[in-house]
Structure 1
Amino acid sequence: MKSKFTYILSLVLLLLSTACEKYLDIVPKGEEIIENADQFYNMVSFPNRAYPINNFQYLVDDQYLKESNVIGLPATNINVLNFTFNESINRPNIMTSSSLYNQAYKYILRWNTIISLVDDSKGEVSVKQLAKAEARVLRAFDHFVILNTFAKHYDPAKASTQGGICIMDEYNLEAKPVKSTVAEVYAFIEKDLDESIPFLQTNPENPYHPSLAYAYALKAKVHLFKKEFEKAKAAAKASLALKSDIYDLVAYTAAGGPAKVNVPVTSNPEILNLVYMTGYNELNFGYSYIISPELRTLFGANDARFNLFFNTTNATWLDMAAGTAWWNIKYTAFFYPTVGMKTTEVQLMLAECEARGGNLTEAIRLMNEIRVKRITNTAEATLAVPATIKETMDLLIQERRKELLFGFNRFWDLRRFNTEPDYAKTIVRVFPLVNKTVPQVTYTLKPDSKLYTIPFAQDVLKLNPGLTLNTDEAMPW
């Protein structure tokens, strides 16, 4: 009889769970004997991890919908509800499931399998340490994603009492998870990162294994979200010291852009962790990624980030007269990171820390390093140093909107900046812009709107009756 440390596992385990108690009913499908450290290490590399953004895609000022995809559709359609900032609907009544929530917890199951079992496998101690460290970084990321979508943004005065999410920290079929506070989840994430960093590699064998630069980048983001700016600054610097590539879109424009030079996923040097919104064919369906008239205007006439990748002239996919634009580049022609982190995000985080600390010259220098590789007009590319922190931060927020398209970033940025009076924004959407057969309405999304916290869906609430909502909405039964 094999020892209890010979594990019959399956990579199809990831099909099992949604979250908390939901993922505890494990029924392996197909068998693979996992009994040595190298196999556990190989399990860390899991291509095609996807983090759908459909729960909040239109709760931002950067994305837009064609008018025919709103007019005449019921308010209970989640895209219509979010696009019109409708707070009258009790969202738990219509959210039967959340693919983002469910998939992130499935991934956590995989990481917990590695973390809990690798030490008792055969093989080198160093390989076990590396496998466990990498899995912890990925577990930290997944908890961070869930927390910053399904709980309120971190508030140091309230975090110890604010409802968070379930922490899943071990491979235990008998676990009875309970919801932790926001503070407890952040402490867990920080512990995973801090305990992993000493064992990580600078250059892992493939981009699905987290690097040391990525771990520091995620650490910087965690501290930034907690407004611990000095810690965020130190972590961002540590990440950039290891990897700071900025792909030169100005030179790429001169070379003919994606029509002449393909930049597939393996060729984009900015990528720090390779994950997707939808899968390998990231952004392949451009009509699903339409930017708002406001964001289109922010780019200006000489920004390669717009001129290379967006199109304004397909009447099937957008309302051309509305002033919107759609992503028009196949993932095989240019791979653009969305939900994953990249080097320019780290540089912008560092710039934000410098700006908040009053070092405006350095903040602008860091932004200009990115802009000179994005703006084809040399004079326009270099920003002058403003007189105040507020003016510098306003420029930085605009730069983040243009550099960190789609994915989580604008939604999370609105949540965190809305906690600060200087940067809080009431989004105003006048709609429709083109159709004259229905009345034009002004919709507003206030900084303190409950819509910024996504409720737990019905499938999870049914399977974990002790899980309470983090919004003031009613349970669906």
Structure 2
Amino acid sequence: MQKLLSYIAVGIFLTVSVACTKYTDITPKGRLVLENAEEYYNLVSLPNRAYPTNQFYLLADDMWLKESTILSASKNLTSIHFLFDSSETRLKYVSGFTLYNQAYNYINRWNMVITLVGDSKGEESVKTLATAEARVLRAFDHFVLVNTFANHYNPATAATDGGICIMDKYDLESVPTKSSVAAVYAFIEKDLEESIPYLQVNPKDIYHPSLAFAWAFKAKVHLFKKEFAKAKEAALKALTYNNSVYDLVEYTRLGGPSKVNVPAGVNPEVLSYMYMTGYTEMNFLNYVITTELKDLFGKNDARYNLFFATSGSYVDAGSNTAFWNVKNTAFFYPTVGMKSPETWLMLAECYAREGSLKEAMDIINMLRNKRITVASEATLAVPGTIQETMSIVINERRKELLFGFNRLWDLRRLNTEPDYAKTVVRKFPVVTTSVPQQTYTLPPNSRLYTLPFAPDVLKLNPGLTINTGEEIPW
């Protein structure tokens, strides 16, 4: 049986099958039998791993789009999310969520390594390393899924809140059931805690998870659970392995991406290489930011001045919006992955929440001094309250952790706290005069923040219930 399962497609073709995961179907094109541990270890490296956000990213208050995209189209998932329309079920307008299917395909890949590497030939140390790395990536993919398709972790209700299906083994015949949010987080933490002791500081290549990434990810898990002391401890540990902050002030002096290319593998602050659309990130160029975020940067922030443009085919003239205008090959910017500035910002948040305001602002100012090109503007005074300090940390997260999941996930987690909850207000259209402008709002408790399981999954697993309360239209 183990030998049979080891027949895999060259390149690992992961396709749709059944039930919650839409399991992996290994198609043996040009059959290759994996017999040794090194081959399984190499499977952990997946350079083109992608986590598409295009079906829901417009829920975030930082994201905009060209007005014609909404005005010229009939009602669809894009318009529902952009206009915060919760009047009817989204299941009428979507057949599947690419992110969901991608993430479970990756989980099956990691499970194949975890389940089969033990019976392969080779060094036990390689088997142990392959298993540990695969478990870290399995934990990450479950984290992506639970924070997109289930409500945010709430200590008071997590044990009963509906989560996602946990896939903990390579078994094409299993029928998964939905676990609670608390159970999913417990699974993620167990994978991390049991794997970290066997990881490497400098793995074989940039697509294998490092100790810096694993500890930073662990900090994020605890931060999302509001376990701030544990998040602080993990963030400090991660920074012992990688505390790099790429100096964009110096980069500006050197001429920026038009003069000095910083492609994937070169930027020292990147902790994990994964992408929204694939390693070329071709769709990245048309990601438009709102006026609110654009103005938050100010005039002397290199994060804006180096990478954004305000005129071109992606934006409406007069909208006061901007779009990312630098190719991935000129400057690699991690979107759905992690980087050490996020670790620093998590640590700053932990300090702020415990009342260590100076320590929090020391981190913020260190970061700003490598981002703001006018030195007199870079250093901020220490505020008098936790809430004021947190506001600065949150704004720096918005400017530092662009696109991907981060702002949407931050809205979800902060909306559980009255001091930081936000009602997002969107006025649309801005420049088109033929259509009356209206005001659209996204309240902190909106069900739109959580995606429902899509029809392609629900029809294959009738026992699976969605977490948003939306009507199933069949």
TM-score if structure 2 supplies the norm length? Answer: 0.97
- Counterparts of 1:283 and 1:400, CA distance in 2: 24
Check whether the contact 2:353–2:386 (CA below 8 A) recurs between aligned residues. Answer: yes
Offset of residue 141 of structure 1? 0.2
Report 1:67-216 matches (<5 A). 67-75=67-75, 77-216=76-215
AA at the equivalent of 2:180: T
- Counterparts of 1:376 and 1:3, CA distance in 2: 58
Check whether the contact 2:63–2:290 (CA below 8 A) recurs between aligned residues. Answer: yes
Check whether the contact 2:450–2:468 (CA below 8 A) recurs between aligned residues. Answer: yes
- Counterparts of 1:49 and 1:317, CA distance in 2: 26
Check whether the contact 1:55–1:454 (CA below 8 A) recurs between aligned residues. Answer: no
Match of 2:362 in 1: 365
* DSSP-derived class of the 2:14 partner: helix
- Counterparts of 2:172 and 2:335, CA distance in 1: 34
Q: CA, structure 1 residues 47+446, in 2 after alignment: closer, same or farther (shift >3 Å)?
A: same
Offset of residue 318 of structure 1? 0.7
Offset of residue 143 of structure 1? 0.2
- Counterparts of 1:19 and 1:388, CA distance in 2: 49
Could you list the per-position Cα deviations for residues 233-263 of structure 1 after superposition, in whole angstroms to 9, with x for gaps in the alignment?
0000000011011110000000001111111
List alignment gaps of at least 5 residues for structure 2.
none
Offset of residue 339 of structure 1? 0.2
Match of 1:272 in 2: 271
* DSSP-derived class of the 2:164 partner: strand
Could you list the per-position Cα deviations for residues 155-207 of structure 1 after superposition, in whole angstroms to 9, with x for gaps in the alignment?
01100000000000001122110000000000000000000001000000111
Comparing 46-55 and 146-155, the one that deviates more:
46-55
* DSSP-derived class of the 1:267 partner: coil
- Counterparts of 1:15 and 1:375, CA distance in 2: 46
Match of 1:405 in 2: 402
List alignment gaps of at least 5 residues for structure 1.
none
Q: CA, structure 1 residues 281+19, in 2 after alignment: closer, same or farther (shift >3 Å)?
A: farther
Offset of residue 17 of structure 1? 4.9
* DSSP-derived class of the 2:252 partner: helix
Q: Do residues 295 (structure 1) and 296 (structure 2) align?
A: no
Check whether the contact 2:246–2:269 (CA below 8 A) recurs between aligned residues. Answer: yes
Q: CA, structure 1 residues 21+393, in 2 after alignment: closer, same or farther (shift >3 Å)?
A: closer
- Counterparts of 2:93 and 2:169, CA distance in 1: 32
Check whether the contact 2:24–2:105 (CA below 8 A) recurs between aligned residues. Answer: no
Offset of residue 282 of structure 1? 2.0
Match of 2:332 in 1: 335
Offset of residue 305 of structure 1? 0.3
Check whether the contact 2:12–2:26 (CA below 8 A) recurs between aligned residues. Answer: no
Check whether the contact 2:21–2:105 (CA below 8 A) recurs between aligned residues. Answer: no
Q: CA, structure 1 residues 166+461, in 2 after alignment: closer, same or farther (shift >3 Å)?
A: same
Offset of residue 26 of structure 1? 4.6
Match of 1:42 in 2: 42
Match of 1:308 in 2: 306
Check whether the contact 1:19–1:102 (CA below 8 A) recurs between aligned residues. Answer: no
- Counterparts of 1:46 and 1:18, CA distance in 2: 24
- Counterparts of 1:469 and 1:30, CA distance in 2: 39
Offset of residue 4 of structure 1? 4.0
* DSSP-derived class of the 1:326 partner: strand
Match of 1:226 in 2: 225
Offset of residue 28 of structure 1? 3.5
Give every structure 1 segment of 4 or more consecutive aligned residues whose post-TM-superposition deviation is greater than 6 Å: none
Match of 1:353 in 2: 350
Q: CA, structure 1 residues 265+250, in 2 after alignment: closer, same or farther (shift >3 Å)?
A: same
Match of 2:62 in 1: 62
* DSSP-derived class of the 2:362 partner: helix
Offset of residue 66 of structure 1? 1.0
Q: CA, structure 1 residues 6+476, in 2 after alignment: closer, same or farther (shift >3 Å)?
A: closer
Q: CA, structure 1 residues 21+137, in 2 after alignment: closer, same or farther (shift >3 Å)?
A: closer
Q: Do residues 445 (structure 1) and 439 (structure 2) align?
A: no
Match of 2:247 in 1: 248
Offset of residue 27 of structure 1? 4.2
- Counterparts of 1:100 and 1:304, CA distance in 2: 31
* DSSP-derived class of the 1:405 partner: coil
User: Of 367, 382, 385, which residue of structure 2 is paired with 1:385?
Assistant: 382
Offset of residue 149 of structure 1? 0.1
- Counterparts of 1:347 and 1:398, CA distance in 2: 14
Could you list the per-position Cα deviations for residues 119-161 of structure 1 after superposition, in whole angstroms to 9, with x for gaps in the alignment?
1111111100000000000000000000000000000110000
Comparing 8-17 and 445-454, the one that deviates more:
8-17
* DSSP-derived class of the 2:58 partner: coil
Check whether the contact 1:283–1:327 (CA below 8 A) recurs between aligned residues. Answer: no
Comparing 81-90 and 413-422, the one that deviates more:
81-90
* DSSP-derived class of the 1:444 partner: strand
- Counterparts of 2:5 and 2:48, CA distance in 1: 27
Q: Do residues 476 (structure 1) and 461 (structure 2) align?
A: no
Could you list the per-position Cα deviations for residues 265-295 of structure 1 after superposition, in whole angstroms to 9, with x for gaps in the alignment?
12111111100001112255522x0000000
Offset of residue 94 of structure 1? 1.5
Check whether the contact 1:286–1:327 (CA below 8 A) recurs between aligned residues. Answer: yes
- Counterparts of 1:90 and 1:346, CA distance in 2: 37
Q: Do residues 30 (structure 1) and 22 (structure 2) align?
A: no
Could you list the per-position Cα deviations for residues 312-347 of structure 1 after superposition, in whole angstroms to 9, with x for gaps in the alignment?
011x22112110001110111111110000000011
- Counterparts of 1:410 and 1:430, CA distance in 2: 19
Could you list the per-position Cα deviations for residues 398-448 of structure 1 after superposition, in whole angstroms to 9, with x for gaps in the alignment?
000000000000000000000000000001111111111111100000000
- Counterparts of 2:258 and 2:152, CA distance in 1: 41
Check whether the contact 1:246–1:344 (CA below 8 A) recurs between aligned residues. Answer: yes
Check whether the contact 1:165–1:179 (CA below 8 A) recurs between aligned residues. Answer: yes
* DSSP-derived class of the 1:170 partner: coil
Comparing 213-222 and 7-16, the one that deviates more:
7-16
- Counterparts of 2:460 and 2:19, CA distance in 1: 9
TM-score if structure 1 supplies the norm length? Answer: 0.97
Q: CA, structure 1 residues 244+224, in 2 after alignment: closer, same or farther (shift >3 Å)?
A: same
Offset of residue 95 of structure 1? 1.6
What is the Cα-based RMSD across aligned positions, in Å? Answer: 1.4
Q: CA, structure 1 residues 130+421, in 2 after alignment: closer, same or farther (shift >3 Å)?
A: same
- Counterparts of 1:30 and 1:363, CA distance in 2: 55
AA at the equivalent of 2:307: F
Offset of residue 32 of structure 1? 1.0
